Amino acid sequence: MASTMLSLSFAAPSLHQSQKREVGCVETASLFGNKKVDLLFKGKSLGRTSMSVAVNVSRFEGITMAPPDPILGVSEAFRADTNDTKLNLGVGAYRTEELQPYVLNVVKKAENLMLEKGDNKEYLPIEGLAAFNKATVELLLGADNPAIQQGRVATVQGLSGTGSLRLAGAFIHRYFPDSKAMISSPTWGNHKNIFNDARVPWSEYRYYDPRTVGLDFDGMISDIKAAPDGSFVVLHGCAHNPTGIDPTPEQWEKIADVIEEKKHIPFFDVAYQGFASGSLDEDAYSVRLFVSRGLEVLVAQSYSKNLGLYAERVGAINVICSGSDAAARVKSQLKRLARPMYSNPPVHGARIVANIVGDPTLFNEWKEEMEMMAGRIKNVRQKLHSCLAEKDKSGKDWSFILKQIGMFSFTGLNKVQSDNMTNKWHVYMTKDGRISLAGLSLAKCEFLADAIIDSFYNVS
């Protein structure tokens, strides 16, 4: 705490000769809010006495209050709402039909195995758990992928998808200082924060077409072509967040053509493998396509959604290189960056993944549970579309909801309309019109359809 000397003077009665001394620790309730302050009487001068007051001032006075996170802030507002009909469609976390959090049964079994084996809690190496790294890259690329067999993949366990993206951002800043990242418009809100904090300049490429509530493919291709050669193009592997709009296989081919032509480096964010379609292989199509072409590729992975390991913070950053020597060097530098950042990753979630993937029985159970979760979201998506189509008598085409995939749906509502969803209907969502279908139940679809129709037509 810094101290500031405040000088005051006031009239005072004459002091007896014996009182002509320093006086300290005087109660001054009327002036200083009943606090004790040090008063130093420096002398008497015709009934007027001067004094100095030490006032503590925080060294952090200049720090302003940060705004609430646009996504996590939705949950805070939801919790403060006492309305019985409230609905939280903001944060992307899976809920049961009863809208309760869900821990996968296969995760519980894997944790019981860990207890039975008596696994310790020793530090992991900087690159993470070896069994996890092996399992995660094989899930991503396929166990028989030539890139794995030839040792061309540098894999480092990260702090879920966010931490893996951040580590890659630090790598780009250090070794590609003249390059920039290209991110879709719109994209997951944290992408911009991550690249800003990593000091990686970024720009946006067109992605969402509000006229069709679909993909602006021509705009996307045009912007990627116009970017400086060697840019890092951030792509969503599947279930694009926030729109739920993915390119078709044919469109992915054309995107790969342009990226290869421009010598760009594709950087995939894979947060929903297996959780979007229910198939691990189908949801990895885009990444495997780029790798099969011999391109060098970055891929950040997360197990928050497909295994429900939200709080375990388990994921990885993979760099697929042109040769094994390059992969070894890249991995060494990723470890060098991770060491002062967080030293080494947590072990619990990594062991869960490794145990499930490494056990054929548990692995099959996991795939069944993923299909169940993905299936519930598909059912909710279908029901919401049916309710909108039945209730909206204008003839508006709501089929874009069915064309989207994954846990999110872009409703086409603007900020003012989204505010109406919250203020009038107590439906909590992000201001860009995105809703998380994972937080919706079949029983609530009709209510949500009423809220959307009211906001769309009655709020300009």
Q: Which pair of tokens denotes residue 290? A: 């780029």
Give burial (CB, 10 Å; 0-12/13-18/19+) of 218. Answer: exposed
Q: What DSSP designation does 64 have?
A: P
Taking the C-alpha atoms of residue 423 and residue 418, their distance in angstroms, rounded to an integer, is 9
Q: Which residue has the tokens 């970024």?
A: 202
Q: What is the DSSP string of 29-58?
A: HHHHTT-EE-B-----BTTEEEEEEEEEE-
Q: Give the residue from 228, 221, 302, 225 showing the smallest Cα distance to 268.
A: 302
Q: Give the angle 342-347-353 at the CA atoms, nearest 5°.
A: 125
User: CB of 61 within 8 A of CB of 71?
Assistant: no
Residue from 269, 331, 366, 398 carrying the catalytic annotation:
269
Rounded distance, CA 364 to CA 201, Å? 42
Is 218 noted as a catalytic residue in this protein?
Answer: no
d(CA 271, CA 162): 10
- DSSP lists the bridge partners of residue 39 as 53
**Residues with Cβ within 8 Å of residue 56, at least 6 apart in sequence:** 1, 2, 3
188 noted as active-site residue = yes
Report the C-alpha gap between 35 and 122 in whole angstroms: 50
User: Which candidate in 188, 202, 366, 398 is catalytic?
Assistant: 188
305 is catalytic: yes
Place of tokens 């809220």: 451
- Find the DSSP H helices in 12-152: 29-32, 72-80, 105-117, 130-141, 146-149
Helix (H/G/I), strand (E/B), else coil: 292: helix
Burial class of residue 183, CB neighbours in 10 A (0-12, 13-18, 19+) = buried
SS3 101: strand
Pairing of strands 214-215, 181-185: unpaired
Indicate which residue of 305, 331, 383, 444 is catalytic.
305
Catalytic residue numbers read 188, 269, 305
